[in-house]
Amino acid sequence: MSTVAADRRGAAVPNGPAGFRYGVVLVIVLATVVFEVLAPDADWARAVAIALVGSALTVAVATSRARAQVRRARMYVVGGVAFLVVVGIATGLVNQWGAFLVGTLLVASIPIALGGGLLRLIRDEGVTVQAVAGALAVYLLVGLLFASAISFGASVHSGFFADAGHVTNGDRVYYSFTVLTTTGFGDYTTATPAGHALAVLEMLIGQLYLVTVIGILIGNFVGRKRT
């Protein structure tokens, strides 16, 4: 009985499900966003970014409440891939595009790892702080994924940005989040139809996600606290 009770509270039990720690994932993802904006286009910065997103994915997998053996296997795979890529960047074996591809795949994997756990958490315990943190982490990850799409578009078409000169990776991440939040400072604008379509899609996804997913979760969380 004590084991079942501990399980329902989300506490860690031997070989049992781990508790959700999506607040930690949110903090790591937020740190990644800030770092990406500030960091220069250098190998060491790409290595640090890979380490950060690998850590976020590892935490998401480790606290997913899957079976202990499954969690451990996934953690070893994620941690191993991230470590090998970081070493590869440091030794020159992994070039810029290799780091870009692995980083994008790791970022895309985090919402997948969060999704099932979030649904189980809300179903079993209702809307909690951890659930809100996980949903906010997904929102930030959407911005990072669009930044990757923008980076790819800018590499394919040299005139992707209008009259911007040299645009760094930090500039592209910054632009992505101004679009996602519909802030639109105007210092960076796209000059191609594909860039315009990408911006519109990001704006729509960002606003719809805030209004629906985040709005509903916050509303339920506040209502739960009042009752």
How buried is residue 227: exposed, middle or buried, by Cβ count under 10 Å (0-12/13-18/19+)?
Answer: exposed
How buried is residue 221: exposed, middle or buried, by Cβ count under 10 Å (0-12/13-18/19+)?
Answer: middle
227 inside domain: no
What's the confidence (pLDDT) of residue 206?
96
158 inside domain: yes
What's the confidence (pLDDT) of residue 7?
43
Our count of domains for the chain comes to 1
What's the confidence (pLDDT) of residue 56?
95
76 inside domain: yes
134 inside domain: yes
Rounded to an integer, what distance in angstroms lies between the CA atom of residue 169 and that of residue 173? Answer: 6
List strand residue ranges (DSSP E) for 19-178, in order: none
Ramachandran area for residue 173 (φ above 0: left; ψ -120 to 50: alpha; else beta): alpha
Tell me the HSE value of 211 on the side-chain side, using a 13 A CA sphere: 8
6 inside domain: yes
Residues of the chain with confidence (pLDDT) below 50: 1-17
127 inside domain: yes
25 inside domain: yes
213 inside domain: yes
Q: What is the largest CA-CA distance in the chain?
A: 67
What's the confidence (pLDDT) of residue 19?
63
- The domain of 173 spans 2-222
In contact, 103 and 49? CB cutoff 8 Å: yes
The CATH number that applies at residue 61 is 1.10.287.70
